[in-house]
Amino acid sequence: MTDAAKPRITITYCTGCNWLLRAGWMAQELLQTFGQDLSEVALIPGYGGIYEIRLDGELLWERKRDGGFPEPKEIKRRIRDHIEPGRDLGHIDREAK
């Protein structure tokens, strides 16, 4: 699969709230899990309490809408369900059962 065909993740974070480290940590978690299955994980600075995670432009998580910050395992499940529904996420899936 070419990079152009692989999904792109964006994490928009509030610079005024100092959420860069949180966004960077989430990006690291996603890259560690999905590695070569993603074309990119981009960090986008914003303002006004924003914290959003999108997959190819589709909103997966929004801090205000969804009530706070996501656990990495929840975002990983949502991404997996979009890009490869049958994929086993190991301990993450076993904890959910």
- The pTM (predicted TM-score) of the whole model is 0.88
Query: How many whole angstroms separate alpha carbon 1 and alpha carbon 70?
Result: 29
Mean local confidence (pLDDT), 77-81? 94
The residue-averaged pLDDT of 62-70 equals: 96
Amino acid at 53: I
HEC string of 11-79 equals EEEECCCCCHHHHHHHHHHHHHHHHHHCCEEEEEEECCCCEEEEECCEEEEEHHHHCCCCCHHHHHHHH
Domain parsing of the chain, residue ranges: 3-96
- Categorize the per-residue pLDDT at 88 as very low, low, confident or very high, splitting at 50, 70 and 90: confident
pLDDT band at 87 (very low <50, low <70, confident <90, very high): confident
> What would the mean pLDDT of 38-59 be, rounded to a whole number?
97
The CATH number that domain 3-96 falls under is 3.40.30.10
> Helix 20-34 to helix 72-83 angle, to the nearest 10 degrees?
50
- Residue predicted with more confidence, 86 or 28: 28
Chain center to CA of 17? 19
